[in-house]
Amino acid sequence: MLFAKGSATQMGKEDMRAIGRIRGVLGKHFLDLDELHINCSKGVVRILGRFRRLGSLSGVMPITERFLHDLKMEIKRLPNVRRVMLAQSSDSDD
């Protein structure tokens, strides 16, 4: 049992490192991190929320299905990431 507990702790550290790397990728694409919830558990990444660019970039660089697909593939290439799920919330409160 001690071994299982230790590996769970190590997995938590790897997940936290993955979240840091993911935030770096999202920031590189000028995405508003305040609008997103990022979760990683055992290499499975879930990003939920509103995908939107920061400031004036929102009108110049729209979020397209192609962009989201490429973003997903970029995140999947990160170390210790096995699977990526993106869920975009509606923009009805704009």
67-93 pLDDT, tens digit each: 999 999 999 999 999 999 999 987 644
- State how beta strands 36-41 and 83-88 pair: unpaired
Q: How many domains does the chain have?
A: 1
47 is a domain residue: yes
What range does the domain containing 63 cover? 8-88
Residue 29 maps to which CATH number?
3.30.70
94 is a domain residue: no
Rounded CA separation 15/28 (Å): 20
- State how beta strands 36-41 and 44-49 pair: antiparallel
83 is a domain residue: yes
pLDDT digits (tens, 9 = 90+) for 1-25: 333 444 455 668 999 999 999 999 9
Least confident of 8-12, 33-37, 62-66: 8-12
Taking alpha carbons only, the member of 44, 14, 50, 12 closest to residue 31 is 50
Query: Which residue type sits at 58?
Result: S
74 is a domain residue: yes
